[in-house]
Structure 1
Amino acid sequence: MKKIFYIVLFLLNLGVSAQNTAIFERANKFYNEGKYADAIAQYQAILATKNHSAELYFNLANAYYKLNRIAPSIYFYEKALQLSSNDTDITNNLTMARNMTIDAIDVVPEGGFTKLINNAANTLTFDGWAKLSVVLVFCFVTLFLIYYFAYETLKKRLAFISSLTALFFMGLSLLFAFHKYNLDKNDQPAIVFSKESKVKSEPNFRSNESFILHEGTKVQILDTVNNWKKIKLQDGKTGWISSEDIKAL
């Protein structure tokens, strides 16, 4: 019975994949004909089937950009960049879309040591650091056994030093793994979708207005209280914005 279920599921997936391919080609045809709204509808139909790809997000962003819909274009360029971080076309188009936003926000640079640690942690994923730690544990155990059973003084000394080195780097990789986990956990970007949104000092409409944001601005979500999100800008400013005004990436 299980085999029949998996066969049916496989055939259904093949059917959905073939259908999405046809829809994607039709959407591209609409785009090339300048029918951007029709193209968007077709791309969104693919997204509704839980099918995601950098190319799909990129084309969808391009269609929104052609219609001067800044917020959704930036949003989907960002989504595409999450799946293909080294794609220069996505990066260039995202830069052009950002140039159309109203808010000019200065980026506060990270401190030298903090930037160094963060860059080092971002060289691998959390899983990558965890796997590296396991490999280094294996190296440590192997080298320690060589040290324990070796008879020659030179071999024992080299094995002992090497095992300590492996142990040190294992501890270092664990620290980077946990740091990478915290970086990913705290990284909650969102895009402002409202044409103009008033950011408050507290999570209610009665509080003072801290500043105003416009569509397309990228923010970081820090906290959630009822229908409010606490956000942080790249220049360090914080405030509370209505959840309806932003869309998390």
Structure 2
Amino acid sequence: MKRSILFLVIVLLSNALCSAQSLNEQVNKAYAAKEYGKAISMLEAEAAKQKKDGLESPQLYYNLGNAYFRSNNIAKAMLYYERALLLNPGDRDTRANIEFARTKIEDKFADKGDFFLSDWYNGIRNLASSNTWSNISIGLFIVFLLCLSLFLFDKRVIVKQTVFYTGIVIIVLFVFCNLFAFRHKYNIENRNTAIIMAGAVSAYSAPNAGDKEVFTLHAGSKVEILKKDGNWVEIEIISGDVGWVEADKLEII
């Protein structure tokens, strides 16, 4: 019975690996032939399949971003680059592609900036994914237990002093790693950022097209969703300006 189960697991893993390799080969062939639309169709189908199974792949989103960028669809490229970055914030290639894609966007709003400690905190947090921070936390906890054992059972004063202060540092790092992991997981489960998909979108002072227009956004711009009201959403842009736009003009990251 155990051998049968093991054999079944091996077969399933082999099929999954072969399927992934086959998809990569087909996408690479489409790229080589500059058939970006074909590559997008295959990658979108795989993304939909994974999402149905409750899965998401930052690498798949990254490849989709590249394919859309090649086809000159900057809004879709930004959408998938940002999704890839949300899942894997430490990936430098994704960040570099986002920065380059932003140069193709019409909107050039000045960044309102954040408090330097907030920038520092977010910069460190975004060095790794939630899973990585969780794994680091587990490692730190194991080291803390070793330090605690030495503190309790080793009679030498110098050892007790060393592991005591080391333990304090480990506890602080452990807390921060867990905070980083929790925040990343929260951001993934409660997505409140979006990309403008329409060519040009007017933002109003209230959820009504008859109200005062406060600014205009173009395809590819990233916004933060503050709240919803029917078919309208209140958004904040990088400059700190706030306005209401129709919900169907953007897509959640």
Q: TM-score range by the shorter chain?
A: 0.7 to 0.9
Structure 2 stretches of 5 or more lacking a match?
A: none
Letter in 1 for 2:100: M
Distance 1:168 1:84, change over 3 A: closer
Q: CA deviation at 1:36?
A: 2.2
Q: CA deviation at 1:24?
A: 3.4
Q: CA deviation at 1:33?
A: 2.0
Which position in structure 2 is the counterpart of 1:66?
70
Letter in 1 for 2:151: F
Distance 1:181 1:55, change over 3 A: closer
**Does structure 2 conserve the Cα–Cα contact (< 8 Å) formed by 1:198 and 1:209?**
yes
Distance 1:174 1:225, change over 3 A: farther
Q: Write the deviation string for residues 11-36 of structure 1: whole angstroms up to 9, x where unpaired.
A: 45543543443343233323322322
Q: Which deviates more, 164-173 or 199-208?
A: 199-208
Which position in structure 1 is the counterpart of 2:40?
40
Residue 241 (structure 2) pairs with residue 237 (structure 1): yes
Letter in 1 for 2:114: E
Q: Would you say how many aligned residue pairs link Structure 1 and Structure 2?
A: 241
Letter in 1 for 2:18: A
**Does structure 1 conserve the Cα–Cα contact (< 8 Å) formed by 2:141 and 2:174?**
no
Q: CA deviation at 1:123?
A: 5.0
Q: CA deviation at 1:167?
A: 4.1
Which position in structure 2 is the counterpart of 1:141?
148
Partner of residue 218 from structure 1, selected from 200, 218, 222: 222
**Does structure 1 conserve the Cα–Cα contact (< 8 Å) formed by 2:144 and 2:171?**
no
Which position in structure 2 is the counterpart of 1:193?
197
Letter in 1 for 2:198: S
Counterpart secondary structure, 1:49: helix
**Does structure 2 conserve the Cα–Cα contact (< 8 Å) formed by 1:24 and 1:42?**
no
Which position in structure 2 is the counterpart of 1:21?
21
What TM-score comes out, normalization by structure 2 length? 0.73
Structure 1 stretches of 5 or more lacking a match?
A: none
Task: Output the aligned Cα RMSD.
Answer: 3.5
Distance 1:162 1:174, change over 3 A: same
Give, in whole Å, the separation in 1 of the partners of 2:206 and 2:15: 50
Instruction: Show the 5 A alignment for 1:154-233.
Output: 155-156=156-157, 158-177=158-177, 179-181=179-181, 183-184=183-184, 185-186=186-187, 188-203=192-207, 208-233=212-237
Give, in whole Å, the separation in 1 of the partners of 2:124 and 2:62: 29
Q: CA deviation at 1:145?
A: 0.6
Q: Write the deviation string for residues 96-137 of structure 1: whole angstroms up to 9, x where unpaired.
A: 322111111222333233333333444565414532552353
Give, in whole Å, the separation in 1 of the partners of 2:148 and 2:89: 38
Residue 105 (structure 2) pairs with residue 101 (structure 1): yes
What TM-score comes out, normalization by structure 1 length? 0.74
Give % identity: 24
**Does structure 2 conserve the Cα–Cα contact (< 8 Å) formed by 1:53 and 1:83?**
no
Partner of residue 134 from structure 2, selected from 127, 132, 137: 127
Letter in 2 for 1:98: R
